[in-house]
Structure formats: C-alpha cells, structure tokens
Structure 1
Amino acid sequence: MLLLGACAQGSGGNSASNVVTIGYTGPLSGAAATYGEKTLRGLQMAVEEINENGGFEVNGEIYTLQLESLDDKYLPNETAANAQRLVQEHQTPIIYSPHSGGIMAMQVFNEQEGFIIGGYSSEPAITEQGNTLTVRIPPSYHGYLEPFTDYAKERFGTRLASIPPVTQYGQDWANALLPHWESAGGEVVHKASVDFSKDTDFFTILTNALEHNPDVLFIGGPSEPTAKLAQQARELGFEGGFIIMDQAKLDEMKTITGGSYELFEGAVGVTPLIYSDFPGTPQFIEKYREKYKEDPGSESGYHYMSLFIFVEAMKAAGTVEDVEKIYAHIQDGVEALPEDKQVYIYEKIDETGGFVQQMRVAAVENGEIVQIKVDE
C-alpha cells in the first residue's frame, strides 16, 4: 500500500502528543488516481496552512495536524482495511474517503471504532442510513436531476442512452436519474455500464449505444476517462448532448482532450470551481495554482474547506478526541469558518450529516461555460 504523510510542528515546542492525525483513504493508483490526488491535495493544503500558522488551540492546548494517506485503488474492501490500519496505528478521529463504496464499507464499523467519516460523495444514501458519525461533504446529487434533465431534454430531445461507470456510485446515480428522465417525458433507449479500471477503448460500448439514436448520453466518473469516452462518442459521429455526473468536471475534461470546450458542446454538469464566486474562492485558486501549476477542481476545494470546519468543530467541542462531541459541534464549525476559507458556502449541516448549499449548474454553449439557473 502507498503511504503518504504530511506533518509539520507548530511553534512553541509542542510535544508529539499534541499532534492530531487525520486519515485519508482513496484512489492514488489506477484509473481514478488523478481524482484521488486532487482530493488529497485539498487536505494537504489545509494541513500545511494550519500548521504554518502555529496550529490551533483547544482548551488552552496548541495542536498541529498530521495527514496519513493510503491508496485503496477505489476498492471498498481496501478502504475498510486502510481505515482499520489508520485507527489502530494513528488513532485518527476523522478519516476521509472520496467514493461512496469506500464510505459505506467504513460505515460498517466506524461508530464502534470511534471515528468520523469525511465522505466526499454526493450519494445521498451515505447519510440516509442513520450512521451517527458520517459527514457528506458535497451536496446530494438529487438536486442535479431536475436541472440536468430539463436542460438536456429541452435542447436536444427525449432519447437518452445511459453509460454510467460500474461503481456503486455510478449505478446509484443512474438509478436516480433514469426514472426522473422518464417521469419528465423522456425515453431511455439504451442501458449499459463502463468499467474504467479495465476499459480504455470504448468503441463497442458506444457503438451499441449509438445504434439506438440517442439525443443525449448520460456519462460520468473521474474526469479523465469520462473525457475520453465523450471524445470517442464524437469521433463516432454523436452530435447530441451529454449529462455529466458530478464527479467529472467540465474544465478538467477540456484540458484532458486538448483545451477546447467545443468537443463538449451541449454538456451539462456542475459548475467548475474556477467559474465560482464564493468569498474564499479567489484566494484558494491562487494558492492552488501557485503550488500545483494548474487549476483546482471542486474536489480540492471541498476537502480544503471541510478540514477547517472540522478544526473549528474541535475548538467548539473542547476536544480533539471525543468524536461524538466533535460531530455535535460541526454546525458551530460551519458558522465559525472564516470568510477567506469559504471556497463554497454551506448554509448548515442537516440532521442526517449532509452539508447543505445552493446548487450550481453549468453547460457548454458555443464553446463557453455558461451558468444554468437552478430553482431552489
């Protein structure tokens, strides 16, 4: 397994006992490695910034952070094994995972083992199962179903071919979108799935889908393979629209396929972070670009912001160890988050553990990103 650590001591001669270890388990190799690295970068930036500023104070004690990360190759069983290791070796009060399969694998035992799951997945099921120590960091994808459907159907037509990834997340997304598409008067003309861990040439999958003359393709997953799937669809003559699951980002897809949005004309997806205008967005983008020489995605922004919220929750709870108290003060963390850390704006954390925020939707029109109004 790949083990990456980031540790910095604050000023004042703090002892090792005043270091709080944050865990991460995600895909750092394989087809989703780029996605995993982007999620991890947000945490690394937050840890470095907190430590460089002298750490944080809880009940008169100064603490710094250490980040321990493990590669799970996007496999839920690896996520569970990694989480056990992180708890046993590092007593991590919080463990992040950026995929629903891994989050659900940890939910089997996180309450008993005593750690909070920082779940980076818009899958609503992760906070609907009653787990008392799970936080869903991005908004639920249910909020995207109506605007994505309305835009694609009105612009291109009613015939949809569905090609989500084989992951639990991809299948759950499809199981939510397809009935909504049909209830809105659309027709699902083809259903298939793609395994990005094995498939690199999508000719057969796409040929079978395009034989049904769809107006819209539903695709998604990590940005890199999603972009290549869309590109090959165009090469095979598809001229319709794309509904892009929220894991893939339009700006990242553009970079992967040569730097132009024209290939994705008519695609509808989440608004890329670089087109957002929240109070802390410009500062975060500047820091990220300086450090990594590229634009940040929402994965990095959400992880960065969420760790500051967890630190504020520890301050409000008066503990870095009692995870139930920390969890109970996450709303305090939301309210105490400094404006320059508000890469997004959370309204609150709801009763199930999901952060609530306004949905942001964008589409590609005439080779440019445009914002799509979403009714709240």
Structure 2
Amino acid sequence: MIKRLLMSFLLIPMLLLAACAQGSSGGDGSSSGGGDKVVTLGFTGPLSGPAASYGEKTLRGIEMAIEEINGNGGFEVNGETYTLKIESLDDQYLPNEAAANAQRLVQESQTPIIFSPHSGGIMAMQVFNEQDEFIIAGYSSEPAITEQGNSLTVRIPPRYDGYLEPFTEYSMERFGTKLASIPTVTQYGQDWANALLPHWEAAGGEVVHESSVDFSKDTDFFTILTNALESNPDVLFIGGPSEPTAKLAQQARELGFGGGFIIMDQAKLDEMKLVVGDSYELLEGSIGTMPLIHSEFPGTPQFVEKYREKYNEDPGSEAGYHYVSVYIFVEAMKAAGNVEDAKEIYAHIQDGLDNLPEDKQVYVIEEIDENGGFVMTVRVAAVENGEIIEITAD
C-alpha cells in the first residue's frame, strides 16, 4: 500500500510536465520547434497499387513547395509566422477510401485544404466537404467536378474537353477515321470516352471498337488488344496512369498495330517514353498533353532543375501543378488574413493567383472561374519522327 502511494506521488509531477509540454505544442496553429505556427495540408491519393507512381509524383510537388516555403522561414499572416506540413494517406485510387481519409484528416489534423488526384475521390469528398468546411484541391480535368455547384472545390488542371478537337483533327488527318477505344475502366476513363467518341463521330469518324481496361487487375493486354485490332482501327484511344498505359501501347505495337494513339491526359508522353525504352519510337503518332519539361512558363526551368537534383528524374505535370498550387493557396491565406477558415481562403484564391511570384509560375494560370476551375491555355503535343512537337489548339 505504501509502495503504491509513493509511486502515485512520483507520477504526479511527471504527468504535469507532460501536460504542459502537450499544451505548448498541440491544437490548431501548433508551434514548431522554431516557435512558428503550423498549417497542416491533407493529401489522399494512390500510394500503393498500379497507380502508386502517379500518386507519389503528385505528392512530391506538394512536398517540394512545403520544403521551400519552410526553408525560407515560412510565411506571414496577420503578423504571425506559419510553416506548413503535409499529412498524406493512401486511398489506393478508391473513392470510398478517399472519403474516409478526408474525414480522418479533418478530424485529426484540422486540414483546411485536402489534395486529391482522382475524380472519384474528389466526388466522394464533395458529399460532405462543404459541411465539414475544407477545400478540395482536385487534380482532375473532369469538368463535372466543378459543375456540381460545390462552393469549396478547386479544379487544378484544365478541362479535358479542350483536348477533343486538336486530338481528333490531328489523328484523323495523319492516320484515318476508324477509332478503337480502350480507356481505363475508372469513372474518369469512362467520362473521357463518353466525351471523345461522340466528338469523333461528329467529325466524320467511325468508332469501330469499344472496351476498357482495369489497370488494377490487368497486366497482360493481349486479349483486349487482339479484340480491338480485329476491327482494323487507324487510331487507338488509350489512357490511365502513365506506366500501364505505356505497356498497353507497347503490346499494341508488338501485335502489329502501326496507327496512332490518342493519349488521355492522365498519362504523360515523357513518362510513357521511359517505360517503353527511353525513346519515342514506339509512341510515334501519339498525341497527348505537352510534357512539362518541354513547356516554357516563367518558373518551369528552375522547378525542373530542382526536381532533377532531388529525384534524379524529370518532373511531370502532376508534380508541377501541385507545386504551384501550394504557393497559390499560401498567397490566398495571406490575402485572406486567415489560415483556418476554408471559405475565407477560397474567397481569396484569385488574389493568390494575382500575387504568385513569377519564379513560382511553373504553369501560368490566368484566373479561377466562377465554378472553381483554374483557367489556362491548353497545350498539346504529338510525337513525330521520334521528337515532341507542339500542336496548336484552337
């Protein structure tokens, strides 16, 4: 009995010390080791499975921006200095997991902004993000995510329907009018197909085959491609994460397909090149989005150099768009005079765009439209004679 009492008296000061330590570093706007307050950003995306590389590259852009901002002493809002941190959770590209992750991030980390790089996850979060008051920073060119009337959603990349006309015109003129469609089975892939195929037919083309591929399950595309090629298409519409899309294109060439590829904007030509042999030979005649390393925006050269130095590879648009978005949101917080209120931050995103330093403009985003979409010029690229060339989009 005496021994237990002694132990209790010894534990009391220890518990008091622990409580004091917790009180000095926890809660909203918690202090870091340097005395600065911390704003936690959230991320939910595929960090395992076949789309893991895609998810990791989006996260890298966020992490690079945070490292730079914190390394430069953070940022000031209303006389207070803040630094940033990122809480990242794996959702394996599953919408229900993205929604669960978002709820956890809001409850445990009070994140005012959550990044998500897939339309399924974005739409799953839109069910409750206004009620829970957090901004969805959506990396998806799906127009529907900003046509839902959600007042706290930002669409980061351009709408994909801006690609339909240049993709169709180029492919028809170079290869012919018969199209076989084999996009990813995800909702995003199906939405892309539902937009492209009617446009192709309206332009005088013929859709000779329709199917889809589940990159989370399929690794050998022989049967899918054999069925598609039996219809003798001039062009294949394919897309999904870069790595499996590249393997699909490679197997199509191995089966004797000599036509063109329309590449859905999720897959990137420069990343696909690395998968099929570090040259564009197998991707001849492909049309897709302009690779970041071939872009000429004010902040692009510096970003590419820093990324190469850090990761020993070229950056893709996923990293670039997320990098610049972090800086835009920081400028919005500064203009809003608030780091916690999602509505106030959202209301000042245009200020964030207007105040963005030129050397951080990895992409030049002109404005945020009334629905929450970033507006910028669509840039299109094709592979001709083993080289990337720019295709002018009207």
RMSD: 1.1
Residue 156 of structure 1 contacts residue 215 of structure 1 at CA under 8 Å; is this kept in 2?
yes
The residue type equivalent to 1:331 in the other structure is Q
Runs of 4+ in 1 over 3 A off after TM superposition: 8-12
Distance 2:277 2:253 in 1: 14
Residue 10 of structure 1 contacts residue 55 of structure 1 at CA under 8 Å; is this kept in 2?
no
1:116 matched to 2:135? The reply is yes
Q: Please list the CA deviations of residues 204-251 of structure 1 after superposition, one character each: whole Å capped at 9, or x if unmatched.
A: 000000000000000001000000000000000000000000010001
1:257 is displaced (CA, Å) by: 1.1
Which of 170, 173, 189 aligns to 1:170? It is 189
Q: Which residue of 2 aligns with 1:73?
A: 92
Q: Which residue of 2 aligns with 1:4?
A: none
Distance 2:65 2:298 in 1: 17
Q: Please list the CA deviations of residues 337-370 of structure 1 after superposition, one character each: whole Å capped at 9, or x if unmatched.
A: 0000000101100000000000100000011100
1:9 is displaced (CA, Å) by: 7.8
**SS state at 2:183 partner:** coil
**1:87-166 matches, cutoff 5 A:** 87-166=106-185
1:11 is displaced (CA, Å) by: 8.3
1:13 is displaced (CA, Å) by: 2.3
Distance 1:47 1:85 in 2: 21
Which of 273, 277, 298 aligns to 1:254? It is 273
Residue 221 of structure 2 contacts residue 248 of structure 2 at CA under 8 Å; is this kept in 1?
yes
Q: Which residue of 2 aligns with 1:215?
A: 234
**Rg comparison, structure with higher value:** 2
Q: Which residue of 2 aligns with 1:45?
A: 64
1:274 matched to 2:293? The reply is yes
Q: Which residue of 2 aligns with 1:13?
A: 35
Distance 2:42 2:343 in 1: 17
Q: Which residue of 2 aligns with 1:305?
A: 324
**SS state at 1:218 partner:** strand
1:344 matched to 2:366? The reply is no
Residue 94 of structure 1 contacts residue 117 of structure 1 at CA under 8 Å; is this kept in 2?
yes
**SS state at 1:325 partner:** helix
Distance 1:218 1:116 in 2: 33
**1:224-243 matches, cutoff 5 A:** 224-243=243-262
Quote the sequence identity (%).
Answer: 80
**SS state at 1:163 partner:** strand
Which of 347, 364, 372 aligns to 1:328? It is 347
1:292 matched to 2:338? The reply is no
**SS state at 1:81 partner:** helix
Distance 1:110 1:25 in 2: 14
Q: Structure 2, unaligned stretches of length 5 or more?
A: 1-29
Q: Please list the CA deviations of residues 136-156 of structure 1 after superposition, one character each: whole Å capped at 9, or x if unmatched.
A: 000000100000000001100
Residue 239 of structure 2 contacts residue 245 of structure 2 at CA under 8 Å; is this kept in 1?
yes
1:353 matched to 2:372? The reply is yes
Residue 32 of structure 2 contacts residue 38 of structure 2 at CA under 8 Å; is this kept in 1?
no
Q: Please list the CA deviations of residues 67-91 of structure 1 after superposition, one character each: whole Å capped at 9, or x if unmatched.
A: 0000000000000000000000000
Q: Which residue of 1 aligns with 2:203?
A: 184
